[in-house]
Structure 1
Amino acid sequence: MARMPSADRRRQLTEAAIRAMTRDGVPRTTTRSIAAEAGVSLSVVHYVFESKQNLLESVIEAITEHYISVVREAIRPRATLRETIRAGFQAYWDHVQANPGEHMLTYELTQYALRQPGFEHLARRQHELYCETYRELIGRLRLGMGFELAIPDPQLARYLAAMTDGLTLNFLVLGDAEAAAGLLDMVTDHVAGLVVPEPAGPAPALEDRSRA
């Protein structure tokens, strides 16, 4: 087997784990099935990942990076702030619709971590990562378009993480894409409405006509 840089090998096995877990579910996915999916020996998996916790954390981070990379690309200054925000949400939503199994896996990972003694921190890390991601995107947007918000960035990030988490699950259960699009429009309007208006310039001086 050709030697591969450790970072590339980790990425290869992580992606293989995502495919196996999406297909078979988290509890039924074993290191042996991941090795088979990646086309490597079982010893390679155990060498790269020292524990199942380590493997699951890598899976969580990789799944988040899958969709956040397309959102980063979509969030670039457009004609209006609303258009920019909506484009970011649309990029995320396109990924959900194209990869429903992968997004379903995120909920299964949360439930698995919460039910497995000693794995609870992975569920916390998963949702912390969502909030950190939104904080990064909000910062990029504010830097690129130069605006201030009426609420702190961390508070908005937590709100957006909770909103997209719930909206995604709602779509996976009900499959109503039209309703989801309407909700994304609503959230876009809400976020755009949180921008603090720029202060008006000084009022023009009134002309003194008393000496005319």
Structure 2
Amino acid sequence: MPRVPVEERRRQLVAAAFRVIGREGFAAATTRRVCAEAGAPLAAFHYCFDSKQALLVELTEQTLAELVDIQTDGIVVGSDVAASLRATLREYWRGVEADPNRESVLMALTQHALADPKLAGVAEAQYEAYHRTARTVLETIADACGVTWSLPLGRLSRMLIVVTDGVTLAWLVDRDGEAALAALDAFADQVAALAQPIGDP
């Protein structure tokens, strides 16, 4: 049997870990279980990763990078600030509904990283990426609509993250998409009220 290149094997193991965690939770994601899911010998794991924690770090980084790209590409500029925020949040929501497993895995990774000293800094890096993305959304919409925000951008970014996290978690529990969209639309309107034309005092 031909030997699988290291980078290809790493990708296989990361993808396998993602599937196992999403389907069965962290407790099931042993190195043996991940290798079985990937169709790889157990020895391949230690050839590719120093530890299970190293695998989880790479899983977090890859999943986050994909999510950030999707959310940045999903910024929509409409006729005004409210329309832009509504459309952008609805585009975000389409991504959630299209791949709920990704959201479940990322939330599980956050909780696991906070509880595991060997993963120190992983949750912080995850939320730093969320903050950068939220700032990009708010800056892009403000620039396109010719407005500034009446609250500091860091505070608005945190509000955006808190609301999208909460709406997503609630939907993962009850799968009420209509309620989720209603909450996001209402939040978009509230944030739009914090915009003011450039030059206003």
| TM band (smaller chain) | 0.7 to 0.9
TM-score (norm 2): 0.83
Query: Which residue does the alignment assign to 1:138?
Result: 138
**Residue 33 (structure 1) aligns with:** 33
Q: Is the 8 Å Cα contact of residues 6 and 48 (structure 2) preserved in structure 1?
A: no
RMSD: 2.5
Q: Does 1:65 align with 2:65?
A: yes
- For the pair shown, the structure with the greater C-alpha radius of gyration is 1
CA distance in 2, matches of 1:147, 1:51: 48
Change (3 A) 1:36 1:189: same
Q: Which runs of 5 or more residues in structure 2 are unaligned?
A: none
- Residue 171 of structure 1 deviates from its aligned partner by 1.2
Of 75-84 and 147-156, deviating more is 75-84
2 CA distance for matches of 1:154 and 1:101? 28
In structure 1, distance between residues paired with 2:124 and 2:5: 32
- Number of corresponding residues: 199
Offset at residue 4 of structure 1 (A): 4.2
Q: Which residue pairs with 2:79 in the alignment? A: 79
Quick check: 1:70–1:91 contact (8 Å CA) kept in 2?
Answer: no
What is the letter of the counterpart of residue 114 of structure 1?
L
Of the structure 1 ranges 115-124 and 91-100, higher mean CA displacement relative to structure 2 is found in 115-124
**Aligned partners of 1:107, 1:168: CA distance in 2, in Å?**
10
The percent of aligned pairs where both chains have the same amino acid is 35
Q: How many angstroms apart in 1 are the aligned matches of 2:179 and 2:49? A: 41
1:66-119 deviations in whole A, cap 9, x for unaligned? 333332222143333322222221122122222223322222222222333433
Single out whichever of 169-178 and 114-123 deviates more from structure 2.
114-123
Instruction: Normalising by structure 1, report the TM-score.
Output: 0.79
Separation in 1, partners of 2:144, 2:47: 43
